Amino acid sequence: MLTMGIDIGSRSAQCVILDNGELLTYGNIETGPESAKTAYAAVEAAVHRKDELWGSYRMELPDVKTSHLRIEDMDYIVATGYGRVIVPFAHANITEISCHARGAHWFMPGVSTVLDMGGQDCKGIRVNERGEVAKFVMNDKCAGGTGRFMEIIAAILQLPLPDIGGISLASTEKIPFNTICAVFAKSEAMALMKAGVNKADILAGLHEAISKRVLALLKRIGIEEKFVITGGIAKNVGVVAKLEEKLGGIKVTMLPEPQIAGAVGAALFAMDRASKRSAKTNPQPTLSGPTAGTATVALED
């Protein structure tokens, strides 16, 4: 059974294809101004395993041809994320909170806390043993500490976005930033840079401020192991390091491909729905009596 999850985020979109729940392929592209086009492009990226945007794939994929796959071959498609309602070929759409919880759970069974740091928002999710959302908190009102913020800072410092994490680790001096506002941080960073302050120090200072704010958000739902970070910013080793410093011993589990958690969750939900659908149309006789959700034909004699 082939199922697909599409996560249309504010800055990037991912497509994941599962084969009976096993990862078959995935792709990541920049979100364009039109959700529908973006969705199709994400499928292309997955099917053709395009890696221009990401560089190399961080997860091993089965050595199986996928370039022949079409949307019509999917048994069920679930869309999630900011642009989920406008994916024309999705059978259903499910909130990104549920999908991130499910996806994180798939990567790391036993996950209890998920921090999703995305393009324009930041979410904290407590997950139960079944991968369902138990508690949830979100900031989507302020750009501070989101991917947008990182992009702005990287541009001001004239550094490639994927490098800022690594560069920040070389910091030797503490630069306090007393606000996480992207607008203020931008001018402060510019002024510091002009004054000759080391870029690594500026970045470390900002990462410190971001991690404080993120932790304050997470404390509202409580942080417990296993703790997983999803979303693009999880790839910023500087932010992760600052977060870990403050977690009092709780380890951060890094996912090999943190940005696809939402799409993975969506594809798993797709699998649930596809199974239910085929169970409804092909009711299986059972000898053990009625089971919830399954049509039964009792074999009485």
Partner 1 sequence: MAVAGIDMGALVTKVVILNTNRILGAATLMTGETGETEARQAMDEALKQAGLKLEDIKSVVATGTGRAKVSFAQKQRTAMSCHAKGACFLFPEARTVIDVGAESSAAILLSADGKVSDSVSNDKCAAGSGIFLDAMSRMLRVPLAEMGPESLQATEAVPITSMCVIFAESEVISHVHRDPPVPRSNILAGIHASITDRLYGMAQRVGAESPVVMTGGASKNIGIVRALEAKLGTTVLVPEDPQIVGALGAALLA
Q: Does 237 bind partner 1 (CB under 8 A)?
A: no
Contact call for residues 66 and 49 (beta carbons, < 8 A): yes
Give the one residue of 65, 68, 70, 141 binding partner 1; rule: CB under 8 A: 141
Q: Does 21 bind partner 1 (CB under 8 A)?
A: no
Q: Does 193 bind partner 1 (CB under 8 A)?
A: no
| Residues near 123 by beta carbon (within 8 Å), at least 6 away in sequence | 96, 97, 100, 114, 115, 116, 136, 137, 138, 139
Give the one residue of 30, 184, 219, 291 binding partner 1; rule: CB under 8 A: 184
**Looking at 16-24, 35-43, 98-106, 138-146, which segment touches partner 1 (CB under 8 A)?**
138-146
- Residue whose structure tokens are 């470390």: 204
Q: Please tell me the distance from the alpha carbon of residue 192 to that of residue 188, in angstroms, as a whole number.
A: 6
Q: Does 210 bind partner 1 (CB under 8 A)?
A: no
Site string for partner 1, 102-131 (x = CB under 8 A): ------------------x-----------
φ/ψ of residue 225, rounded to 5: -70, 150
> In terms of CB distance, is 112 or 139 closer to partner 1?
139
138, exposed or middle or buried, with CB in 10 Å at 0-12, 13-18, 19+?
middle
Q: Does 183 bind partner 1 (CB under 8 A)?
A: yes
- Residue whose structure tokens are 């404080």: 212
Residues in the chain: 301
Q: Does 148 bind partner 1 (CB under 8 A)?
A: yes
Q: Does 152 bind partner 1 (CB under 8 A)?
A: yes
**Looking at 18-26, 50-58, 173-181, 196-204, which segment touches partner 1 (CB under 8 A)?**
173-181
Residues in the site for partner 1, rule: CB under 8 A?
Answer: 120, 141-143, 148-149, 152, 178-184, 191
